[in-house]
Amino acid sequence: MSRLLLSGLVLSLAAGAAERQREGTEWSVTYAFDANQTKLPRVLLIGDSICNGYNSFVKEGLAGVAYTSFWATSKCVTDRSYLRELSFILEEYDYAVIHFNNGLHSLDTDRVAWEAALRAVVKTLQEKGKGAKLVWASSTPLKDPALTAKAKELNAIAARVMQESGIPTDDLFGLMDPQDRALWSDTYHYHEAGVRLQAKQVAESIRPLLPAAP
């Protein structure tokens, strides 16, 4: 099968797959720090409330070497507006590195639909990211073992997609899973010490991909 036909099939599957039913409240938050500055390269963080938690510490960790933007949303990649919102964010700036994740709001999403939509996201990032280097972040474990098992399923699918696409993975699941569950503030989220652990690893995964300083 030609690459063109395969791309068309992926987009067709993503468009036709059953969308995850929207939650009672869906949300989307985006910030661009140092919005008018151009001296340093810019990094884009994409994720959910976990990203919303660590973004400020990543900003601190990359201070002096990169500006940070982030887009955190509850929307699953299968949502009808996900790619439209992503395209808007990508048009706002030229990003040197894009660190992205989607999973904790997708735990009960049909796996075939999720994979097709994730492939469409990767294609969008490659086509509209203006040459940005991409890093996938695995979804973090949860305090509930049954939910953690679902996160592992999605991570396994994403690992295959990223390997096929030549995209490295920042293994946040591997970082957090051995940790004492006292670091969790609730089923999904973390106390500051846990958030700082994640932010440190996110920043470290981004730094080597940034262009050399002039």
* Domain-located, residue 21: no
- Pair of tokens at residue 35: 């919005």
Express each pLDDT in 62-107 by its tens digit: 999 999 999 999 999 999 999 999 999 999 999 999 999 999 999 9
Q: Give Rg (Cα) of the chain.
A: 17
pLDDT band of 212, cuts 50, 70, 90: confident
Is the residue at 120 inside a domain?
yes
Q: Burial of 190 by CB count in 10 Å (0-12 exposed, 13-18 middle, 19+ buried)?
A: buried
16 domain residue, yes or no:
no
> Residue 2 domain-assigned?
no
- Pair of tokens at residue 208: 């080597």
Q: What is the pTM of this model?
A: 0.91
Q: Quote the CA–CA distance of 88 and 44 in Å, as a whole number.
A: 13
| 3-class secondary-structure state, position 45 | strand
Tell me, yes or no, whether 1 lies in a domain.
no
Domain assignment present for residue 42? The answer is yes
Do the domain assignments include residue 117?
yes
Domain count, the chain: 1
pLDDT of residue 21: 87
CA 167-84-154 angle, 5° bins? 40
Q: How confident is the model at residue 214 (pLDDT cuts 50, 70, 90)?
A: low
pLDDT digits (tens, 9 = 90+) for 127-180: 999 999 999 999 999 999 999 999 999 999 999 999 999 999 999 999 999 999
CATH number at residue 62: 3.40.50.1110
How far is residue 163's CA from residue 5's CA, in Å, rounded to a whole number?
A: 20
pLDDT band at residue 20 using 50, 70 and 90 as cut-offs: confident
The answer to whether position 6 is within a domain reads no
Helix (H) or strand (E) holding 31: strand 28-32
Instruction: Give the C-alpha separation, 117 to 83, whole Å.
Output: 9
**Domain containing residue 203:** 27-209
